[in-house]
Structure 1
Amino acid sequence: MSEMNLLIMNQSELACFLPGRRQREVEELIAPCCVIDAEMMEPEEWAELLARHNPKVIVGGWSLPQLPDGVSWMAPRLEYLCYVPGTVRDKVSCKMIEKGLLVTNWGRSISRTVAECALLLGLSCVRRSGYWNDRMHHHGEWKDDFVTTKSLFDRRVGIHGYGAIAKELIRLLSVFTSKVTVFSDGVPKGVFDYDGVECSDSLNSLFSENDVIFEVEALTPERVGVVDEALLRSIPEGGAFVNVARGDLVESKGLLNVAKEGRLQIGLDVFNEEPLPATHGLRGCMNVMLSPHIAGPTTDRMVDAGDHAIENLKRFCRGEAVVGPITPEVYERLT
């Protein structure tokens, strides 16, 4: 066995995640290192590669093949999978993590760009940007005396969830309003008190007592469909609902019913079914802003994920704890 660590990325991934000197820095950190484009590699070739190089560390991008269940004998030295993008569910099994394999992904490095997209959708909703963009481009229209638009300044804003994205969003919203409340089941009230954040008593009160709702909660089996039609209807008429978290947090039929009625402005970056079918009922609703799951990271900020990976590789090499390890509990929340 050559005992060679692996950097598994194609050229486009290297350019996105590790531009400039970053690729060289990764190679130096995990030297000796072999850079491989495994995108078209067959499973048997991948297994043979692991057995031949016996890596201690694998750094991978989207093109990384799934680690086979027999990786423990193909690459018995393997300690750390530093996956640079997001979900690792199709790259490594939870069983491998339970057996001690250290795994990280882009973690919180993308939080600010997701929060930025949430703010964009929220502003677009209250300003009805999607509606006017369509009417001016495709219908030759102009405003009339009955146009109603709203501002985000001094609006009551509710945030469902209290992870890294929520905290970044609160920071961005501070420019517009101080009337922000948060709800996340399982987060002790003392945490909100310590952070100086106002929390709602319940999800019901969060939705019914705020004009704009941002959905940024983590998806768990218990939260599938937690935002149902009744909750959406409890948002004051003329309000807005924005989801940049996971589509399955929202009950799809109820969302479509409310969307078609036009009583709310809605901004969606995630959906129950992705890609969103061309014939889906949400398409064509002029009160619904749609974006195709592109909240973050943006193309120019993929480098943030690369920098996060480099920092974790440095920590690993120094024998320090990495930032945001994928535990079995975290793994189960990934989609």
Structure 2
Amino acid sequence: MSNENLLVVLNEWEKEDFLPPPLWSRLEKIFPQLQYHTPDEIAKKGWARVFSEVKPSILITGWRAPPLPPEVGLARESGLKYLCHLPGSVRKLVPRLWIENGLIVSNWGRSISHVVAECGLMMIISGLRRAGYWNYAMHRNGAWKTDALDTQSLFGRRVGIHGFGAISRCLVKLMEPFGVEVSTYSPSVSDEGLAEYGVQRSNSLEELFSENHIIVELAALTPEAEGIVGERLLRMIPEGGLFVNIGRGAVVDEDALIRTCAEGKIHAALDVYCTEPLPADSPLRKMENVLLLPHLGGPTVDQRQTAGAYGLANIERYLSGNPLESVVTLDIYDRAT
């Protein structure tokens, strides 16, 4: 049992998905006096009143939690020491000054990398098989295959990955049965780190895009990387190739991607966009050679409890004085979307 005051701010479906009964019971054993509020209750009362009444030192949040206020005084005087955010990005939830004033923040980090990689593999295979086009055409237009097919297989292909973080590493493992040849452009990763996964180094983005039939976008969104994948690079993808983005939408110049895909020489499979939700009038929605998902790359409903268990384990580390995993530092905060 802990003497720390815990406040959980989740709506009912977030609580059910992230912290199903076994995890919730475990949490209650650690914090017998835990307080549970829905996001609507927090919005109605306001954070200042909630902090005054509950005095939480630890806070668990989900997607729907209202943003913490930007007041410096409240950041210093709230008594909040650790915020365990069960999903990913905290930019819309936590003002930077709270972290500057010592608040420890963690998120789901690498706990869901394998699930995002699974989505990436599905998008690669679906894009190569032109599943997006045929699913729509058969449902809406009564279509059937013709002699002019351009479907392709993943077996034995060359795959280039832009960025080589945790998701990329999981994706490489998932692609092993297909006998692919993988290269990456990720200057910060050591030769030993690439050799561990049997991945070749591309010395430039130009080399990566021009020498691989499949390009997977997984680069971190840094100021230098914003919009770095432009028309020149996209046109280097070999004709009939596939561009997959399961990373960050803003790394890609979306207008350039639209222009390139409109010519029909390459295909694309996209899960992230510069503006989300993707506008209803986006030209991407009308392209037969572009497979679209509505940012589904994160954990599926059945896998959200993995992130919940990861967050709970982090809280236990915090209580025992052990180092936390997936801490959102100021540097990570600044690079997040």
Output the TM-score relative to the length of structure 2: 0.94
CA distances 1:244-279 after superposition (whole Å, capped 9, x unpaired):
111111011110011111101100001111111111
Question: Residue type of the partner of 2:265?
Answer: R
CA distances 1:178-213 after superposition (whole Å, capped 9, x unpaired):
301111133343432455432111111011000001
Question: Residue type of the partner of 2:164?
Answer: Y
**Alignment correspondent of 2:328:** 326
Question: Residue type of the partner of 2:335?
Answer: R
Are the structure 2 counterparts of residues 35 and 196 from structure 1 closer, same or farther at C-alpha, using a change threshold of 3 Å? Answer: same
Question: Residue type of the partner of 1:71?
Answer: L
Q: 2:86 matched to 1:75?
A: no
Give the SS at the match of 1:81: strand
Using the TM superposition, name which of 184-193 and 225-234 deviates more. 184-193
Shift of residue 86, structure 1, vs aligned partner = 1.4
**Alignment correspondent of 2:223:** 221
Question: What percent identity do the matched residue pairs reach?
Answer: 42
Asked if the contact 1:104/1:324 (under 8 Å) is kept, the reply is yes
> What aligned pairs does 1:67-106 form with structure 2 within 5 A after superposition?
67-68=68-69, 69=71, 70-76=73-79, 78-106=80-108
Q: Distance in 2 between matches of 1:327 and 1:43?
A: 30
**Alignment correspondent of 2:305:** 303
Using the TM superposition, name which of 118-127 and 88-97 deviates more. 88-97
Give the SS at the match of 1:307: helix
Task: Give aligned pairs, total.
Answer: 333
**Alignment correspondent of 1:289:** 291
Q: Distance in 1 between matches of 2:303 and 2:68?
A: 27
Shift of residue 43, structure 1, vs aligned partner = 6.7
Question: Residue type of the partner of 1:36?
Answer: H
Asked if the contact 2:113/2:170 (under 8 Å) is kept, the reply is yes
Give the SS at the match of 1:141: coil
Q: 2:254 matched to 1:252?
A: yes
Q: Distance in 1 between matches of 2:151 and 2:4?
A: 63
Shift of residue 136, structure 1, vs aligned partner = 1.9
Shift of residue 26, structure 1, vs aligned partner = 1.9
Q: Distance in 1 between matches of 2:107 and 2:148?
A: 49
Asked if the contact 1:53/1:75 (under 8 Å) is kept, the reply is no
Shift of residue 59, structure 1, vs aligned partner = 1.1
Question: Residue type of the partner of 2:331?
Answer: E
Q: Distance in 1 between matches of 2:32 and 2:230?
A: 51
CA distances 1:280-328 after superposition (whole Å, capped 9, x unpaired):
1111211000001111111111111101101101111111001110000
Q: Distance in 2 between matches of 1:247 and 1:285?
A: 18
Q: Which consecutive unaligned segments of at least 5 residues does structure 2 have?
A: none
Q: 2:156 matched to 1:154?
A: yes
Question: Residue type of the partner of 2:182?
Answer: V
Q: 1:144 aligns with which of 127, 143, 146?
A: 146
**Alignment correspondent of 2:210:** 208
Are the structure 2 counterparts of residues 118 and 195 from structure 1 closer, same or farther at C-alpha, using a change threshold of 3 Å? Answer: closer
**Alignment correspondent of 2:66:** 65
Q: 2:124 matched to 1:122?
A: yes
Give the SS at the match of 1:210: coil
Q: Distance in 2 between matches of 1:269 and 1:14?
A: 25
Asked if the contact 1:5/1:31 (under 8 Å) is kept, the reply is no
Q: Which consecutive unaligned segments of at least 5 residues does structure 1 have?
A: none
Using the TM superposition, name which of 176-185 and 163-172 deviates more. 176-185
Asked if the contact 2:76/2:101 (under 8 Å) is kept, the reply is no
Asked if the contact 2:75/2:97 (under 8 Å) is kept, the reply is no
CA distances 1:208-262 after superposition (whole Å, capped 9, x unpaired):
0000011111111110111011101101000100001111110111100111111
Output the TM-score relative to the length of structure 1: 0.94
Are the structure 2 counterparts of residues 42 and 132 from structure 1 closer, same or farther at C-alpha, using a change threshold of 3 Å? Answer: closer
**Alignment correspondent of 1:39:** 40
Shift of residue 119, structure 1, vs aligned partner = 0.9
Using the TM superposition, name which of 263-272 and 133-142 deviates more. 133-142
**Alignment correspondent of 1:5:** 6
Question: Residue type of the partner of 2:241?
Answer: G
